[in-house]
Amino acid sequence: MKLARNLFTIALSVMLLAGASLARAQGFDHSHAAWNALLAKHVKTFASGNASAVDYAAIKAEHTALKGYLAALSAVGEADYGKWNKAQRLAFLINAYNAFTVELILSKYPDIESIKDLGSVFSSPWKKKFFTLLGQERHLDDIEHGIIRAPGAFDDPRIHVGVVCASIGCPMLRPDAFTPEKLDAQLDDGMKRFLADGTRNRFDAAAGRLQVSKIFDWYGKDFEKGHKGYDSLKTTFARHAAQLAATPEAQARVRNGDYKLEFLDYDWRLNDIRR
């Protein structure tokens, strides 16, 4: 009887290990379905779909669902991540940045007006280590600057319309998760929507001024790497002249670089639907 029990215990252990191995083999859910469901319910678009606001209160009410998705992100090891293709890795990182940013906001919500309230004169909210990713304790800057923007990793300037720091001045948080199959189209769409939002990017034809987000000042060099045809800010704006300017004449001026470039002040207020 004792031998039978031991054999049963061994067999059960083998089955559990096999099940765990099968789960790992099946891998991470690259559809990001759990995150997509939260975004679809709690991100509201406006300004002809070119801007969005987040219902943080509603997400906080579903905090368990968010935490489940974050746990799935944190469970991915560096070895598995290394086996993924580039689109799978970038979609994973952008979604992780955005989801962990929401988690950071919820840590003090509703008692904050800006993500900057989570830092101080001596500490940055983007350098606060509060989660594990790819086997290491990390902060948000690790994802954006340490991994995504690492030279040679992706070199895609369009990531700046993907990662969203919970602020009105940021590009919109999409109401859908980034996925490998749609990633390229989603980033292109994000660029168009961001540059079409006149509160953050616009051409003042009367004054001859192209007024754009401070993002293009901070990360201008990322738009000089030639990825997907983005080899300078000038060519970037020329490509999106139809979004930046209202008339054919004004669009031609943007394409020809006939403007004085100005960077707008950044609005760090929380992108909360209650505003």
Task: Answer whether residue 7 is part of any domain.
Answer: no
pLDDT of residue 27: 83
For the chain, what is the domain count? 1
Report the chain's mean pLDDT, rounded to a whole number: 91
What are the two backbone dihedrals, phi and then psi, of residue 119, each rounded to the nearest 5 degrees?
-120, -165
pTM, entire model: 0.90
Task: Answer whether residue 272 is part of any domain.
Answer: no
| pLDDT band (50, 70, 90) for residue 12 | very low
Task: Answer whether residue 271 is part of any domain.
Answer: no
Distance of CA 269 to the CA centre of its chain: 18
Give the Cα separation of 141 and 126 in Å (integer). Answer: 5
Task: Answer whether residue 187 is part of any domain.
Answer: yes
Residue 24, pLDDT > 80, answer no
Is residue 99 within 8 A of residue 43, CB to CB? The reply is: no
Task: Answer whether residue 258 is part of any domain.
Answer: yes
Is residue 92 within 8 A of residue 99, CB to CB? The reply is: no
DSSP annotation of 213: -
3-class DSSP state of 3: helix
| pLDDT band (50, 70, 90) for residue 81 | very high
Residue 147, pLDDT > 90, answer yes
3-class DSSP state of 24: helix
Task: Answer whether residue 209 is part of any domain.
Answer: yes
Task: Answer whether residue 249 is part of any domain.
Answer: yes
Instruction: Show the domain range for 34.
Output: 29-263
Task: Answer whether residue 145 is part of any domain.
Answer: yes
Longest dimension (CA), the chain: 92
Percent of residues, the chain, with pLDDT higher than 70:
91
